[in-house]
């Protein structure tokens, strides 16, 4: 009678071979198709402020010095930062992207993007794509310590500094819970408001909290 161990050896061998084959196929596909590393941020704080945060607010906030270190680390290792329009052209088949491409995105549009993040982006020469929730009274700006939304003037300055402004809807509520008319209002009104503020076309959109169907 064969032992359990004797029966398992060929089975484990087949499993190992299947895993190795899957890994090799994935590596081959990755080598054939350019990929973009997308980094998503929300709020930036000085180290002392960050250490006082707890729970979800701590997860969604990054110390300013940590952001500086992350961008320096990526630059030192040959990563190349791309912008939203460049990525859109690539997606349409109208251009190529460099190896080790990175897209830096920011959600919500909190005040620390202007006060804390912009100086770091300028220091490293990194472009960013900022998705702004347009309603200053949205609950997303009342979470935790209640960081306010960027002012219209701050949004204009960020846009002038090369930060692309995209929409993050009006209210940051779940689009999947709305009817079609509600969804259209969230998209159209946020786009119209941001174009009024910046004087530039808004062509990028990020779904709030990934609530979509």
128-172: pLDDT as tens digits: 999 999 999 998 887 756 789 999 999 999 999 999 999 999 999
85 burial via Cβ count (<10 Å: 0-12, 13-18, 19+): middle
Pairing between β-strand 36-41 and β-strand 43-45 as defined by DSSP bridges: unpaired
Say if residues 44 and 62 touch (Cβ distance below 8 Å): yes
Q: Which residues contact 177 (CB under 8 A, 6 or more apart)?
A: 211
Examine the pLDDT at 5 and tell me if it is beyond 60. Answer: no
How high is the pLDDT of residue 16?
A: 55
């Amino acid at each position: 009678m064969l032992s359990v161990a004797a029966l398992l050896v060929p089975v484990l061998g087949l499993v190992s071979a299947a895993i190795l084959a899957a890994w090799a196929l994935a590596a081959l596909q990755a080598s054939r198709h350019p990929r973009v590393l997308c980094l998503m941020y929300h709020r930036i704080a000085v180290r002392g402020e960050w250490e006082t945060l707890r729970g979800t607010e701590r997860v969604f906030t990054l110390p300013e010095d940590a952001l500086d270190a992350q961008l320096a680390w990526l630059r030192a290792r040959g990563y190349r930062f791309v912008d939203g329009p460049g990525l859109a052209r690539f997606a349409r088949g109208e251009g190529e992207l460099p190896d080790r491409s990175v897209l830096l995105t920011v959600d919500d549009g909190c005040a620390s993007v202007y006060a804390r993040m912009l100086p770091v982006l300028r220091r490293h020469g990194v472009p960013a794509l900022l998705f702004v929730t347009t309603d200053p009274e949205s609950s997303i700006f009342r979470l935790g310590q209640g960081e306010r939304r960027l002012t219209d003037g701050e949004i204009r300055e960020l846009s002038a500094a090369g930060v692309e402004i995209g929409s993050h809807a009006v209210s940051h509520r779940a689009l999947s819970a709305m009817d079609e008319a509600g969804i259209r209002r969230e998209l159209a009104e946020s786009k119209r408001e941001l174009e009024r503020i910046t004087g530039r076309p808004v062509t990028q959109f990020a779904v709030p909290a990934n609530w979509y169907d």
